Amino acid sequence: MGGKGSFDRFKQLDFMKMDRRTFLRAVGALGTSLFLQNYRSDIVKALEFAETRIVWVHGGECTGCSESLLNGGEPDLLQALERLNLRLAYHEVLLGQQGIYVDGKLANTSELNSELLFEEVIEEKGYILVAEGAIANGPAGTGKYIMLGGKTYKDIFRRAAENSALIVAVGQCATNGGVNSADSEIKDLMDFRGVAFTMEDGEKGILRELGVEKPVININGCPPHPDWMLLTLAAVVLGKIKVPDDLPAVLDEWLRPKVFFPPDHVIHDNCPRRGSYDKGEFDTVVSGEKCLWKLGCKAPYTHADCATRRWNGYHSFCPQSGSPCISCVSPGFPDSSRPFFQEIEDVGIAGTNIDTVAKVAIGASLLAVGAHAIRRTVVKEGPEEKEQEEGPEEEKQEEAPGKKAGKDEGGDQ
């Protein structure tokens, strides 16, 4: 969460006149609850005649991403869908349908038969496809390691993808294969794929295998934060991110929204244990209060806003609760994070050897919790606020021909 200061800064802005950059700053600073509450009337105006359909499919996964979304708290999923005028047309876990057979008889209506419902919802094209879970390509390209109702999930996904307007892959399994694609004796046999990537390999995404070209947004995490999912959908349905034109500017190289996975920021920057790191104080057993680096914390390498957004009703996150960060949002997870709870190398931040970190405090103000967030605010938010005041000029700059992509990307972080 961005806190009261961030809320006060954005609550006076006119949502309808926000340019893309200001909108992204708002969703980056505010949680879903504050965002939907603050801009409720403006959102109603923007979506008065527009309904967006969501088709949500499940492959090889634990359903943890859907559970994370359901545990989002305030607003709950139903409130968020209502305020954003989203219709969850199909979600295999939440369906009210009873199955192919009802009381021993074949059900021939989509109200009772989920297979018929699926056929109906994908027939009307233009929906947002949310993919949760990896897609089995094995054995030997058949996809038969995941069968649903006598059909391969690979084919179900293909058909849903072909008729979609956008694919949002949620969770590590859908984005990069996750635990399904981790190194094992059966990895090649099962051949699980992510939507656009398999681990860090863009050549092995299932879309490339299927020959399907669709815009993709990846919401990494095992599981992803509810805000990351809901606010990404909000940005798309409200037209603040235009698909596919804006995607190169707002997504990183792994197709993740830079506002939630900032390339210039790591979890370590705002960790409440950061002061212990600066003083060279490290825990070597669990349940301590010092830096968790020696216990395998990957926060110095992990690009996500967990430390400022926080989880469980915006109250805490893994290192704050005593667990080292395992970098579950990184494209190579879990292989790139192993071993989870051991220091994997003798290198600190930006090449600093962990054994040479200063043992003396560098000043009480810099060791206080949130000091690094304050420093970032002083350095970076001043110019950004000026940009907000000069919104029309910024629009002109964005539309100027021949502008370098690198500059545009920097403004959307």
Model confidence pLDDT, tens digit, residues 33-72: 889 988 888 898 888 878 999 999 999 999 999 999 998 8
- Return the pLDDT at 73: 72
- Four-residue CA torsion sign, 149, 152, 153, 159: negative
Q: Rounded CA gap, 302 and 326, in Å?
A: 9
- Return the pLDDT at 98: 66
Domains by residue range for the chain, with CATH: 50-250 (3.40.50.700), 267-374 (4.10.480.10)
Model confidence pLDDT, tens digit, residues 66-110: 999 998 877 788 889 999 999 999 998 888 776 677 777 777 888
Q: Rounded CA gap, 121 and 170, in Å?
A: 20
DSSP 299-325: GGG----HHHH-BTTTTB-TGGGT---
Question: Which pTM does this prediction carry?
Answer: 0.83
- Return the pLDDT at 60: 96
Q: How confident is the model at residue 130 (pLDDT cuts 50, 70, 90)?
A: very high
- Return the pLDDT at 212: 98
User: Mapping DSSP to helix (H, G, I), strand (E, B) and coil, where does residue 275 land?
Assistant: helix
Model confidence pLDDT, tens digit, residues 160-170: 999 999 999 99
For the CA atoms of the chain, what is the radius of gyration? 22
- Four-residue CA torsion sign, 379, 385, 386, 387: positive
Q: How confident is the model at residue 230 (pLDDT cuts 50, 70, 90)?
A: very high
pLDDT: is 380 or 110 the higher one?
110
User: Mapping DSSP to helix (H, G, I), strand (E, B) and coil, where does residue 205 land?
Assistant: coil
Averaged confidence pLDDT in the chain: 83
- Return the pLDDT at 69: 93
15: pLDDT strictly greater than 60: yes
Q: Rounded CA gap, 15 and 37, in Å?
A: 12
Range with lowest mean pLDDT among 11-15, 211-215, 292-296, 310-314: 11-15
Q: How confident is the model at residue 8 (pLDDT cuts 50, 70, 90)?
A: low
**Distance, CA of 198 to chain centre:** 17
